[in-house]
Amino acid sequence: MSGRRLAAPRGSRIDRERTLSFLWNGRPYTGLQGDTLASALVANGVQLVGRSFKYHRPRGIFSCGLEEPTAIVDLIDGRHRTPNARATVVELAEGMVAESVNCWPSVGFDLGAVNGWFAPLLPAGFYYKTFKWPNWHLFEPMVRRMAGLGRASLEADDDRYEEVCAEADVVVAGGGIAGLSAAVAAAQAGAGTILITAGTATGGALGWRDDGELDALAAKAAQAGVRILTRSVAFGVYDHNLLCATERLTGGPRGPRGVLRERLWKIRARSIVSAQGSFERPMLFTDNDRPGVMLAGAADEYAHAYGVACGRRAVIAANSDSAYQVAASLGAAGVEIVALLDRRAHADIGAHVDGVRVLPNTGIDKVLGTSAVRGCVAVAADGHGSRPERFDCDLILSAGGHAPAVHLHSQAGGRLRWLADGAMFVPDGAAPGIVSVGGCAGVFSRDTAVAHALDVGRALALGFTVPSATPCGAGRSLASTRIADARGKQFVDLQNDVAAGDVGLAALENYRSVEHLKRYTTTGMATDQGKTSNVNALVLMGELTGREPAEVGTTKFRPPFVPASLGALVGRRVGRLYRPLKHLPAAEWHAAHGALYEQFGNWNRPAAYPVGGETLHAAAQREARTVRRSLGVFDGSPLGKLEVWGPDAAEFLDLMYVGTMSNLARGQARYGLLLNENGIVVDDGIVARLDDHHFWVNTTSAGVERTASAFEEWLQCEYTNLRVFVTPVTSRYGNVTLSGPKSWEVMAAVGFDAGLSPGSMKHMTMRESALGDVPLRVLRASFTGELSYEINLPVDATTAVLDRLWTAAAAAGGALYGIEALEILRTEKGYIHIGTDTDGTTLPGDIGFGRAIGAKTANFVGRRSLLRPAALDPQRFQLVALSPADGRTQLPTGAQIAASDPPTTPEGHVTSSFWSPELGAPVALGMLARGSSRLGERIRVHHLGERIDAIVVKAPFIDPAGSRLHG
């Protein structure tokens, strides 16, 4: 319990008048308005906040910002959880409930900590090695449970998220003094400028100091019209200068119906300025992960921004001049600085601090204390010299140097170079479209950073050459932050529990490439993306393999810079908007007539019209039977409809379809199969000739976009000499279909033109007609095997005509029928449904169109592919009709057909299977190897361990002569 709240005036961000209550691991605490969850926990003396990923070691709060590797918590709001939040950036809110992750049963007593005792057995890559035998999946559930981070809620997220697209001349990522300067200069020079800043206001790393220059810049930004997004972090640079950022709109508990929680910004910018500053590099020393070890700059920020002391007595382990500023600043805030142990030799130190004992060439040999720091032992950093010295302290501050946030620069394709003096990677020139300023460019001198950023902003706005950055102001740091002869565990990656020994093992096993090092040890692969670990890992690999860090190189940084919630990425594309459904023009009419709606493709359609408590199955049986006995009325509006115009339309359709369309007489219609260039059947349809240069094309409901796209591609890219226009008209025409022996009787009663009667209008013809003033295109084609009329009519007239037809049909004993009945009817007739009976391997010959191809002399799309050896293979699966041998067991759709029992090599599968009300027996279609030559054979259908014998029979099951088609 070493953290405590300091007296005013410390704490520039907090409001001491406003107390907030919150629950942490079930216990009530209070914090202040302006606190983060982390600062409130520190103020309450909470030091142990979680358990580590692999060894379940106790961990505390390590940083004060978005780089946090260890203070990872779940936020709980009723039934909802936000997993893996970084306590250091969670704004405290009244009533907040938060829990530690990765410990069970509690953070103080964690059973998983036994992993720590077996640490020698859990080296890098341990699960690749240990769990190979007999099967990783045997171990996976246990390992995942032990190693998981937060738990996601199983409830749907009530909160709302939205997406905004914006354009800007200049977008600046980072609201510190450099970013603010660049934004002000750009805006003042006339550029439309957006500034993205993580805090509740601009200021960045200096934001908590009372700083007149910052205030003046903020005022200028407002005056110059810079658009400022607060609580926002730019997480990714994508192609062609697209910058994505998430804006947090509320961190508090949700209301009864959720809140607008986050906004995703997609900003297309002429120029991007990266100004995301730098991170502090931790020191590597033994047990550097104990609660109470943290970044030096973070402790300083807690003290001054939040008025919170992280401890009473601090030892600082340093490799950077920045440690001296922290020592002075923290000392002034009331934290006793016991000693400053500087890893560097005296000559490399460029700063000093009064009243603090400084030991050059000194490092920490070990940390005392397990769940809290009690002290440390210091030794000479080079392994020579003075005797070990023990210090009592409750806080160890780590100041290893600076690691510029080069993430956006690297994401954009920029290269990095190693600066030996400052021991850091900085941008090597600018990447296309993006310029770095301030700390992330390695510029740590404030005046230089401001001057450079102002120049950059102005140059970007005016299109001048952008001045390059000159890194400066960081002082000297050593590449290595580790003492010689370090023993025990020095943690490189605190979140993924990767220690220096693991990097050593990777080097020993020759995983020397930085990409291999990363994957083998998993360093830098946790949710913090290695913000505090990457440089130490690279330096260590260099040391172990005798290379400079520059030679080791870095991995390419990839988005996201910080975790982005799935909610923000998904935005409003959830629920009904995930995949919006299309609705029938007469949707309400059907609902009023008892339609049971289901989703078919991207349409919401009646599956059936159950009456008097019927099941779907019973309704479909009744509807199918009624179609065969009298008639049925069906809404076929989703049927794909294209009009094809032009002097070369006939020639074009010959090229598109298996089936010759150019010799159709006016008013005639013909079935066609559409292939792709591989010869695969991708759609089917009916083509009707309305005039010499005008065709009507019906496609399948699901295939119309595919077909229209194929038509356009062939016309625009290949057959560019053909004079043809294709107009998709699916949504312009409704379609009411009457099917059954009494179809014409009902149409006649309603007043349709006598010229449409079966006597004068033949099967597979189309007529233009009218009902009153409603123009009609009536096609006689049938998907049921019965006399059928497909009446295409203006979409606005659909409901009225449907209503008139239904009134007459009902009087004649007809029924409304849905998709389920249609499926039964077409299967009884052996008519295929593309995508159900066919798949991505089906050729026309497989479904009985071999003769049609042989007869066609003209070329068509896919023809050459049908001559390949594989297309001519006699073993191909071919369409067959199937009946169960016992005459009553329905074959399960999708069941495999195999000769052996138990099944080994499949020789086919069942594609469509229904109970036929007409036959009182099951009917089925399937694909079967050599199927067309196996009529009468007995085959074996296998389903979930059961075997059903079936017979290959002749299709169709009903009306083989086809006489019912003609009424």
The tokens of 314 are what?
């601090």
Residue 266 C-beta: closest distance to other proteins, Å:
8
Out of 135, 716, 905, 963, name the contact with other proteins by CB under 8 A.
716
Whose Cβ is closer to other proteins: residue 763's or residue 863's? Answer: 863
Say how far apart CA 739 and CA 824 lie, in whole Å: 14
Cβ atoms of residues 828 and 916 within 8 Å: yes
Determine the Cα–Cα distance for residues 730 and 639; give it in Å rounded to an integer. 7
Is the Cβ of residue 77 or residue 163 nearer to other proteins in the bound state?
163
Q: Which amino acid is at 922?
A: P
Q: Which two tokens stand for residue 708?
A: 């229209």
Window 23-82: residues binding other proteins (CB under 8 A): none
Q: Rule CB under 8 A: say whether 717 interacts with other proteins.
A: yes
Q: Rg of the chain over CA atoms, in angstroms?
A: 37
Q: Does 723 bind other proteins (CB under 8 A)?
A: no
One residue of 155, 210, 718, 886 binding other proteins per CB under 8 A? 718
DSSP for 221-285 reads HHHTT-EEE-SEEEEEEETTTEEEEEEE---S---TT--EEEEEEEEEEEEEEE---EEEPPPB-
Q: Does 432 bind other proteins (CB under 8 A)?
A: yes
**Which DSSP string do the residues of 437-503 spell out, in sequence order?**
-GGGGTB--HHHHHHHHHHHHHHHHHTPPPPPP--BSS----S--B-TT--S--EEETTTTEEHHHH
Binding to other proteins by residue 242, rule CB under 8 A? yes
816 vs 853, which CB is nearer to other proteins? Answer: 853
The minimum distance between CB 842 and other proteins, in angstroms, equals 17
User: Cβ of residue 859: shortest distance to other proteins, in angstroms?
Assistant: 7
Please state the three-class secondary structure of 192-217 as a single string.
CEEEECCCCCCCHHHCCCCCHHHHHH
What would the x/- binding string for other proteins be over residues 535 to 574, using CB under 8 A? ----------------------------------------
Q: Smallest distance, Å, CB 165 to other proteins?
A: 8
| Cβ within 8 Å of residue 905, ≥6 positions away | 898, 899
Distance from the Cα of residue 586 to its chain's centroid: 36
> Least separation, in Å, of the C-beta of 864 and other proteins?
5
Instruction: Scan residues 833-892 and list those touching other proteins (CB under 8 A).
Output: 859, 863-865, 868-869
Nearer of residues 715 and 778 to other proteins, judged by Cβ? 715
By CB under 8 A, residue 413 contacts other proteins? yes
Which residue, 644 or 761, is less far from other proteins as judged by CB?
A: 644
C-beta of residue 528 within 8 angstroms of C-beta of residue 88? no
Residue number with CB closer to other proteins (327 or 715): 715
Out of 136, 238, 464, 725, point to the residue binding other proteins (CB under 8 A).
Answer: 238
Total residues contacting other proteins by CB under 8 A comes to: 23
Give the nearest distance from C-beta 673 to other proteins in angstroms: 18
**Shortest Cβ distance from residue 545 to other proteins (Å)?**
29
Please report whether residue 240 would count as binding other proteins according to CB under 8 A. Answer: yes
Burial 225-258 (b: 16+ CB within 10 A, else e): ebbbbebbbbbbbeeebbbbbbbbbebbbbeeee
Residue 409 CB, shortest distance to other proteins, in Å, is 15
Task: With contacts defined by CB under 8 A, name the span among 233-241, 609-617, 655-663, 814-822 that binds other proteins.
Answer: 233-241
Neighbour-count burial of 618, counting CB atoms closer than 10 A to its CB (0-12 exposed, 13-18 middle, 19+ buried)? middle
- Which string of x and - marks every residue 676-705 that binds other proteins (by CB under 8 A)? -xx---------------------------
* CB of 333 vs other proteins, minimal distance in Å: 47
Cβ distance to other proteins smaller for residue 723 or 938: 723
Q: Is the peptide bond before 9 cis (omega within 30 degrees of 0)?
A: yes
Token digits for 758?
Answer: 């079966």
Spatial CA neighbour of 624 closest among 889, 836, 814, 779: 814
Distance CA 77, CA 95 (A): 9
- Of 740 and 862, the one with the shorter C-beta distance to other proteins is 862
| 720 in contact with other proteins (CB under 8 A) | yes
Distances (CA, A) of 412 to 245, 282, 550, 765: 15, 27, 20, 60
Alpha helices by DSSP H, 252-411: 296-305, 322-333, 407-411
What's the closest the beta carbon of residue 929 comes to other proteins, in angstroms? 23
Nearer to other proteins, 242 or 351 (CB): 242
Q: How far is the CB of 905 from other proteins (least distance, A)?
A: 26
Binding site for other proteins (CB under 8 A): 238-240, 242, 266, 268, 413, 432, 677-678, 709, 712-713, 716-718, 720, 859, 863-865, 868-869
